[in-house]
């Protein structure tokens, strides 16, 4: 009898375990459909930010009636924010409500119109995008496998494309392109060979207007296999022109240099995978010309990889010099010191920055300022107070090739004084005088550099570099 009871109890426990497992599987895999708009909105308003007893935002979304997404993947995103995000998140109920409200405002109707085309992956991407927005992390981003691949190619410094740098604007709600202006056409590029010019506005790729595409979709349409062609339609002086551009391997020269008389000029546009090697090449080249001073230009530099700026700074100071540091979420401090045996900065320098100099661009600027204070270099900062981004992001990949990037630490320059939200202040702010019609910031940087090295111009260097 006792044996029989034990068997019955064991069977009942097994049934309960299987049922619980089935519920978990149903929630995690979640292939159900979304509820009606009015029902979902009513549920959001009814529950508000009350605790439904759920630990995960994903569970709240299901409670609201938002289905059809990969809850397991969604929870992975939640996990990274819970464990890696450097700031405090809103409560789970608040996050759920905000995520659901954003989804209903920007995605529900669009996905409903798509019908069967709004598959599980599409709904998941939409919800994760809303969740990321709800966290308040202004630098966080979710990337699909295609977007991550394009981003990685771009940040490597080498990719296949038509060879233009652009200035683009997008609609903040839809994410669609509003304008794309060609800022620069690279030498020996498909765009240059075809006849595209700086100042042209790209209005279509193939036969698709850019206003129907996101920036990622435009990049995907322009890039492709080496040797293939893509039709680019531009607007120039009110006239539409079509060009067939051959796709080529493009090297993004993030560092460029010139020498005018006894002054070297090195501009760093961003910190990508090839920046450190290009910078080493540039500073060795200007030193070989026997320059008496160098202007470093990091205006409009949005930043990039931490490793890239560390490797760039590494060759400017003696071995063992502090380059940067950051604190992990558990309080552990990570310090980076110079490891290179070379010390190539043996002349005075000025660094030009502006309000668009951000992140790694600011770290470079702050480091030169700090090295001046430490007596390691003779440097002066010229221009405007920088953007003020003293936090760093890490990208965490998922098994399907997508990723989540989020802010996971504050990083500090050699002085160990963080500048997030404040920026780097030049000794004297000097803005560009647009009325003059020339680069007055560069002229000021050269003037200050002349005072530092105690020489008169060998040539009329002004702002002609």
* Residue 31: predicted pLDDT: 46
HSE, CB side, 13 Å, CA atoms: give it for residue 419: 27
Q: Which two tokens stand for residue 310?
A: 């560390």
Helix (H) or strand (E) holding 243: strand 239-246
Query: Which secondary-structure segment (H or E) carries 182?
Result: strand 177-185
- Total-model pTM: 0.79
Listed in order, strand segments (DSSP E) in 298-402 are 322-327, 333-337, 349-353, 379-383, 391-397
Q: How far apart are CA 460 and CA 465, in angstroms?
A: 10
Chain-centre distance for alpha carbon 352: 22
* Predicted pLDDT at 435: 67
Locus of tokens 């085309």: 117
Is 4 a residue whose pLDDT tops 80?
no
Share of the chain above pLDDT 90, in %: 66
Residue 246's Cβ-count burial label (10 Å; 0-12, 13-18, 19+) is middle
Measured on CA atoms in the order 203, 168, 228, 235, is the torsion positive or negative? positive
Per-residue pLDDT, 262: 94
Class of domain 255-453: alpha beta
Determine the topology of domain 158-251 in CATH.
Answer: Pdz3 Domain (2.30.42)
Question: For 115, which DSSP code?
Answer: G
What is d(CA 101, CA 93) in angstroms, rounded to the nearest whole number? 12
Q: How many residues does the chain have?
A: 465
- CA dihedral sign, ordered 136, 213, 142, 389: negative
What's the DSSP call for residue 398? -
Which of 207-211, 216-220, 342-346, 439-443 has the least mean pLDDT? 216-220
Look at residue 165 in the predicted model and tell me its pLDDT.
79
Distances (CA, A) of 129 to 107, 272, 294, 341: 10, 25, 44, 45
Let me know: does 356 contact 387? Beta carbons within 8 Å. Answer: yes
Give the model's pLDDT for residue 457: 60
**Ranges of each domain in the chain:** 1-25, 31-137, 158-251, 255-453
């Amino acid at each position: 009898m006792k044996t029989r009871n034990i068997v019955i109890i064991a069977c009942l426990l097994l049934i309960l375990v299987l049922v619980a497992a089935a519920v978990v599987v149903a929630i995690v895999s979640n292939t159900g459909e979304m509820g009606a708009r009015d029902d979902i909105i009513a549920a959001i308003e009814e529950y508000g930010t009350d605790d439904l007893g759920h630990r995960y935002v994903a569970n709240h979304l299901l409670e609201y009636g938002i289905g059809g997404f990969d809850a397991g993947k969604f929870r992975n995103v939640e996990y990274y924010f819970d464990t890696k995000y450097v700031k405090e998140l809103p409560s789970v109920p608040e996050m759920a409500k905000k995520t659901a409200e954003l989804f209903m405002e920007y995605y529900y109707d669009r996905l409903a119109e798509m019908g069967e085309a709004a598959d599980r992956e599409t709904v998941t991407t939409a919800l994760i995008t809303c969740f990321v927005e709800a966290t308040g992390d202004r630098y966080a981003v979710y990337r699909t496998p295609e977007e991550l691949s394009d981003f990685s190619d771009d940040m490597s410094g080498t990719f296949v494309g038509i060879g233009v740098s652009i200035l683009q604007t997008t609609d903040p709600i839809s994410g669609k392109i509003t304008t794309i202006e060609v800022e620069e056409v690279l030498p020996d590029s498909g765009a240059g060979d075809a006849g595209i010019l700086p100042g042209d506005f790209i209005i279509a790729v193939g036969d698709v207007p850019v206003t129907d595409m996101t920036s990622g979709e435009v990049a995907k349409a322009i890039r492709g296999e080496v040797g293939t062609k893509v039709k680019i339609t531009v607007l120039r002086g009110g006239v539409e022109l079509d060009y067939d551009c051959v796709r080529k391997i493009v090297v993004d020269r993030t560092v460029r240099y010139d020498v005018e008389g006894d002054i070297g000029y090195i501009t760093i546009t961003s910190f990508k995978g090839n920046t450190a090697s290009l910078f080493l090449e540039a500073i060795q080249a200007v030193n070989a010309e026997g320059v008496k001073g160098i202007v470093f230009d990091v205006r409009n530099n949005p930043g990039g990889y931490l490793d890239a700026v560390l490797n760039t700074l590494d060759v400017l100071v003696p071995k063992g010099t502090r380059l940067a540091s950051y604190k992990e979420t558990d309080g552990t401090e990570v310090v980076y010191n110079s490891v290179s045996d070379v010390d190539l900065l043996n002349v005075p320098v000025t660094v030009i920055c502006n309000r668009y100099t951000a992140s790694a661009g600011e770290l470079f600027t702050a480091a030169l300022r700090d090295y001046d204070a430490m007596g390691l270099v003779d440097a002066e900062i010229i221009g405007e107070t920088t953007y003020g981004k003293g936090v760093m992001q890490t990208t965490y990949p998922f098994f399907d090739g997508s990723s989540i990037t989020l802010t996971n630490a504050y990083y500090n320059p050699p002085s160990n004084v963080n500048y997030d939200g404040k920026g780097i202040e030049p000794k004297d702010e000097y803005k560009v005088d647009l009325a003059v019609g020339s680069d007055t910031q560069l002229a000021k940087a050269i003037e200050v550099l002349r005072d530092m090295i105690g020489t008169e111009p060998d040539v009329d260097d002004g702002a002609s570099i």
